[in-house]
Amino acid sequence: MDEAVIGKLTRHALAARNNAYAPYSRFQVGAALITDDGQVFSGCNVENAAYPEGVCAEAGAISAMVSAGGSRVIETITIAGKGPIPCLPCGGCRQKIREFATERTCVLVVDENGEQLFKDSLHSILPFSFGPENLETSNQKEQAE
């Protein structure tokens, strides 16, 4: 992956992280993604008093991408957390990313200083995943019967 793109995504993820609303966990997370047509979208985690009802940063970035229209193919998503342990997407966010991923979709994780902690494909952290093509195949089979 191009270092300029990595730098751009890292800057956007860190900026989103700075805007996170995390008064309960105090664990701010930012995410930025780039689509196959070069558009960049970012999001941050947003907590609320009904603790499990918060929104993850990855989901916020994906929502921004979808609401903007245009391409819905994630080339790379960068997540900015805090500390030396990579802040990998939760299971729900992995599935949300998968909805718009290709076999080449990259997941990159940085710390609060922008230092890279993890870089691999979505497939490596969500192997044997269920995606839109599973439903298309199922629907086609039902229609044929």
The catalytic residue among 3, 47, 53, 58 is: 58
Give catalytic status of residue 103 as yes or no.
no
Which three-class secondary structure state does DSSP give residue 38? coil
Q: Tell how many helices (H) and how many strands (E) occur in the chain.
A: 5, 5
Gap between the Cα atoms of 104 and 50, Å rounded? 36
User: What is the set of active-site residues?
Assistant: 58
